[in-house]
Structure 1
Amino acid sequence: MSLRVIYRILGILLMLFSVTLVPPMVISVVFEDRTLSAFAIAMGITLLTGFLLYYPNRRARKELRNRDGFLITVLFWTVLGAFGSLPFLLAEDPNLSVIDAMFESFSGLTTTGATVMTGLDLLPHSILYYRQQLQWLGGMGIVVLAVAILPTLGIGGMQLYRTEIPGPLKDSKLTPRITETAKALWYIYAALTLVCFASYWAAGMSWFDALGHSFSTVAVGGFSTHDASIGYFDSATIEMICVFFMVVSSISFGLHFAAWREGRISHYLRDPETRFFLILLLILSCVTIAGLLLTGSYDDSKALRHGLFEAVSIATTTGFGVADFTGWPGVLPMMLFIAAFIGACSGSAGGGMKVIRILLILKQGAREIYRLIHPNAILSIKVGRMRISEGVAEAVWGFFSVYLLLFVLMMLGMLATGLDQVTAWSAVGSALNNLGPGLGGVATHFGDIPSAAKGILIMAMLLGRLEIFTILVLFAPAFWRR
């Protein structure tokens, strides 16, 4: 492991991130909201720190190995979350504490969408824009962006790419070269954002709201520029646009690339994970709408709109809202929240355990039942036409087991801070699944929970975004041995 190479790359990435503070500064000037100095100071600190890490190690050259990729990825997300909190900390409005600024920054970058802020409609435009931009950068992963545009990472960029892309099958590349793969992902990501922005704008949003919400929609993030979220606009057209792009952004970007390259949409229908995901969304939406109609919670049109929107928003781990689903009758709130544990498809910007893992677990369960009937049968697990190796199957069970164990441990930690069971359970689930909204005391915002609880949730957000093992591997003694 070459620490000098790691410092050099970390310095480059920090300097790159400092440039992303320019757009909020422009927004501050345009709207005259008096936050320019906060962003300028934050940019200077980030740029200087990156330069100090890079310059002494500028001549360090060495191919990255798997261990280097894990360490760079975890360090960068941790450091980026810390430096990303500077504008929140330095700005007079919203005047956040250190832990609250860190919470908001990590929530944005991990596309969790949980917030400690209230009164969003009164906040400076530059702060509102910055929150949305954080989610957009975190959606596909700024590390993948760096691999796409920084040839200085060389062939070792594959190690960064593999630790960044979510899902159990990480070795497939869309193009022969890793740099071209990362570029392809970002072209698709940017194109979707542009189309989403134009759609929102045409539907009646202001250019500022359309830009901000396109960032958080395609990132499957959930931050909004209004306290009432998408419900602020009270527009069925805007809601349906949002539903469409939430679903599209929750599907593997590899499939989007294949569909674009070959000019066909049949790839979506042939992909088992996507089919399972869409069927699950359909069932969840129908049950939710039926529940709202049968209980008389809304009239027919509102039940259809709100039921469909909330089912898709929660299940894809986006977290936008048009209604307070936590107050819905019966099993509906718990059912929607549990759906977020499944989450989006692998290779997408969404959170959760990923649909492919749940699909594999179901297939393994069915195989074990069949083995009870036919003990001597040799059975393999197949997803579509692909035969899944035993190594991948074991990794899925390992992920699931560790996921549940960490969930329980962090929930106990939250209970130790004095929170009630519903709040603690849903807060950890929201953070670990990168969802955003919770139940109980965190149904609307996370500002009132203890600082220690916020610290636990920051760790949960990182674990969820980097899929647990990317972080846990750093705690293994064997990782640090030569």
Structure 2
Amino acid sequence: MQYKVIQRVLGLLLMVFSLTMLPPIVIGWTMDDPDILPFGKSFALLLIGGLLLWLPVYRERAELRSRDGFLIVVLFWVVLGLSGSLPLILSEAVDLSVTDAVFESMSGLTTTGATVIIGLDSLPRSILFYRQELQWLGGMGIIVLAVAILPILGVGGMQLYRAETPGPMKDAKLTPRITETAKLLWYIYLVLTILCAMAYRVAGMEWFDAVSHSFSTVAIGGFSTHDSSLGHFDNSAIEAVAVVFMLLSGVHFGLHFIAWRSASVMGYVRDSEFRAYVGLMAGLAVVSTVYLYYNATYDSFLQSLRHSLFHVVSIGTTAGFTTTGYSEWPGFLPVLLLFASFIGGCAASTAGGMKVIRFLLLVKQGIREVNRLIHPNARISIKINRNPLPENVMQAVWGFFSVYIAVFVVFMLVLMAQGHEQITAFSAVAATLNNLGPGLGEVAGTFKSLDDFSKWWLCLAMLMGRLELFTMLVILTPAFWRK
């Protein structure tokens, strides 16, 4: 393990992260916000801390190995979650304990969207903007951003990219050079954010809300500047904008690049994962709309369609925005939507969950096993986009699925041992491990009422969900630390 190189990279990245304290200062200064001092102090502390890490080893340069990349990514997300809580701890406007501040910071950076803050409408805009900014940075991944804009790191970017990027096939690159791939992903991300902000503004939001919500929409994060989330606006046009950009952000970003380069949407149509993604959302929307209308939850069919479509896309993509109390919907619908978050969006998107491609492969594997019972001697391959997949990919998907379920059970049992009832424990772990945000029961609104141990435990669940389990688990194995 090249500890000095790791220290150097970590110091550089921490200094870069200190710059995230500057936009809230500008927002507060221009809007006569009195609460900008915490951001100034945090900027200085993080900059000095990063500098102290970097200076003793600034001459150390070597190519990163895969193990180094895993450790850097895990360390950086842990350090970032702690560092991001600094302005929340120092601010008197939010009055958060250290535990609550770290929970809010980790929730923002992992784009989970679970909150412990009550009274968002009365908070300074610098704090509100900072929460949205954390989600936007965490959406595409700060490590990918670092690989894109910091070639001065002088280290192998592929190791960081592989450890950070979601999905079962992590070696796929859009361009030959990993730095160009990372830049390209961020260009697409930035364009979607700008378009989303403009659409929100046209739909009726003021500029501050439009930009803030575009950050959390494209990041599929779910933080809002209002306690009632997008329900604060009660505007069908705003909800339509959110649905469109949540759907787009849940798509494999490589497909957006192909569509832009070829000036054609056929890349979407031909992609198996995209078809499964759209089909799943459409099917859930139909079921939800019919059930809400049948139970007369809303006054008309159009109202049922409006609310069901929004919440299916929001929960299904793990964004977590709400316009009404979906947890109070009748029958099986709240649990159905929570289960949809386990699937999440497409690989290489900003969505959480296990990803549609893995779900699709599991279904195909199940069908193959049934066919093998009928034709024991047949050689049946699993295909994606008409191309057969290597067996090692299927083994990796099965391994991920089994570990995901095992981790989920362990986290849920620990919460139940803490005294939380089953619905709260189940939904709290689902909401954090899937990076969803809102849960059911005690955590349907906020996670404020949970005890400190449960909040720290769920912070770990958020981190494991964001890094897709194995990046986190691999550093806990003895083999990882052997020379």
- TM-score tier (shorter): over 0.9
1:151 counterpart letter in structure 2: P
Structural mapping, 1:139-288, within 5 Å: 139-154=139-154, 156-288=156-288
Deviation at 1:203, TM superposition (A): 1.1
Partner of 1:294: 294
Q: Check the 8 A contact 2:24/2:127 in 1, yes or no.
A: yes
Deviations 1:194-244 (A, max 9, x none): 000001011110110001000000000000000111111111111001000
Deviation at 1:155, TM superposition (A): 5.7
Q: Which 5+ residue runs of structure 1 have no aligned equivalent?
A: none
Deviations 1:398-450 (A, max 9, x none): 10111111101110111111111100000000000000000000000000011
Partner of 1:461: 462
Partner of 1:392: 393
Q: How many pairs does the alignment contain? A: 482
Partner of 2:350: 349
Deviations 1:374-415 (A, max 9, x none): 111111111122211111101101101111111011101111
Distance across 2 between alignment mates of 1:156 and 1:57: 17
Structural mapping, 1:5-404, within 5 Å: 5-154=5-154, 156-300=156-300, 301-404=302-405
1:346 counterpart letter in structure 2: A
Deviations 1:236-259 (A, max 9, x none): 111001000000000011111111
Q: Which 5+ residue runs of structure 2 have no aligned equivalent?
A: none
Q: CA RMSD in A?
A: 0.8
Distance across 2 between alignment mates of 1:415 and 1:470: 26
2:38 counterpart letter in structure 1: A
Q: Greater CA deviation, 257-266 or 274-283?
A: 257-266
Partner of 2:416: 415
Deviations 1:150-179 (A, max 9, x none): 112346100001111100011010011111
1:377 counterpart letter in structure 2: A
Partner of 1:429: 430
Q: Greater CA deviation, 149-158 or 331-340?
A: 149-158
Deviation at 1:100, TM superposition (A): 0.3
Q: Check the 8 A contact 1:107/1:115 in 2, yes or no.
A: yes
1:296 counterpart letter in structure 2: A
Q: Check the 8 A contact 2:111/2:222 in 1, yes or no.
A: yes
2:247 counterpart letter in structure 1: V
Deviations 1:319-376 (A, max 9, x none): 0001111111111111111110010000000000000000000111111111111111
Distance across 2 between alignment mates of 1:48 and 1:155: 23
3-state SS of 1:319 partner = coil
Q: Check the 8 A contact 2:62/2:154 in 1, yes or no.
A: no
Distance across 2 between alignment mates of 1:477 and 1:465: 23
1:163 counterpart letter in structure 2: A
1:95 counterpart letter in structure 2: D
Distance across 1 between alignment mates of 2:311 and 2:479: 44
Q: Check the 8 A contact 1:155/1:178 in 2, yes or no.
A: no
3-state SS of 1:20 partner = helix
TM-score (structure 2 length as normaliser): 0.99
Q: Check the 8 A contact 1:107/1:114 in 2, yes or no.
A: yes
1:225 counterpart letter in structure 2: T
What stretches of structure 1 move > 4 A for 4+ residues in a row? none
Deviation at 1:304, TM superposition (A): 1.5
Q: Check the 8 A contact 1:428/1:460 in 2, yes or no.
A: yes
1:447 counterpart letter in structure 2: K
TM-score (structure 1 length as normaliser): 0.99
Distance across 2 between alignment mates of 1:70 and 1:186: 21
Aligned-pair identity (%): 58
Distance across 1 between alignment mates of 2:475 and 2:160: 15
Distance across 1 between alignment mates of 2:153 and 2:378: 48
Q: Check the 8 A contact 2:140/2:219 in 1, yes or no.
A: yes
